[in-house]
Structure 1
């Protein structure tokens, strides 16, 4: 089995280099050949006999190719409507579709909303986000909404027998602190801080207790230092 990814390390944008580098070794340990830092420019052949051409000119022979490149929101049917469309249905902070004559909401993969933490519009392709947004909108329809939608930004990934969980987000301009040791302890956490030093996210590997602790503290608005100290006490 081979994995090809244009990123230099797997999941680097989310987990950061502290965890991503360990995932490279995890693939190798499980007998998977990896090509990180190079993209795919073409796939030719027929079922059972395919050739995958990489950006550096290398050609890989395979019987099956699985392509995971995200999705494109299906909003063509809304073209010509009053709704604002830009890589999805653009909403305000309350998930109300911009341009709609009344209270029309967008949720899930198609919704593009202003993320209060990141300061930009985002569109999230994960079922936890769709579920969070659906609950928020249901409550808004029934009782009204006094505060804007705030995403939990929670995702996870099973990497062989490793459990990778992430809550919040990672600021490339910020910093990260590692607690634990995957080699020595088999578990670790990384607490992300944004560009001004405020805690903005956490990633844990094989450490659910640290995840639960960090999520509660992130939601409560605790400082980066306080969350790091709390997780250190769990070791």
Structure 2
């Protein structure tokens, strides 16, 4: 047990822990956006439960992956070559997850932009978006993000204790942030479109990574932060305009 927490006796170990915790929390944003959008389509009484089950499943999945870390590392070994590029199981999982994200985000964007085209399907969709269906879709993306998260952790440190702590802290942050983020997205319709755009970008990045074209995460999150800042300024401008309109109407 003492060897398991050997990192705690060195400054380098604590630095690695803080860095990995920050990295895991940032990587969890992708997963959290998807969970928020998906669970907001459920009846209100099922939303919190779906988020807790989905995030709880993400924790269990990542802990299980850490327990089989030797197999996870082996997932980066090439299994076949196509178009001059060797593909591993990790690459295939990332490509499949990216395609699923792009399909899901495109479908939701089309539904938001052209709701008239879906009037006949409204009842069917209300029935189809069930708690079980939402959990299943969350689990699919949990698998993709979990594999990427664990492989990132393995690349940053060799201490299992650091990996376990970082994963648990990141999932705890996700659990605490899930409902406030989902409520914020629900109350601000324009944020939904922005979040769906993020999912499109994340899906494209996953596919590119799986095809061997690595896009630095810093570029992705910088673009997301800038877009969120611009949308925040737009929201502030709209609120001030509405407030001035109300004051003028009062006079």
For this structure pair, what is the TM-score category when the shorter chain's length is used for normalisation? under 0.3
Which structure has more relative contact order (CA 8 Å, sep 6+)? It is: 2
Normalising by structure 1, report the TM-score: 0.22
More helix by share: 2
Normalising by structure 2, report the TM-score: 0.21
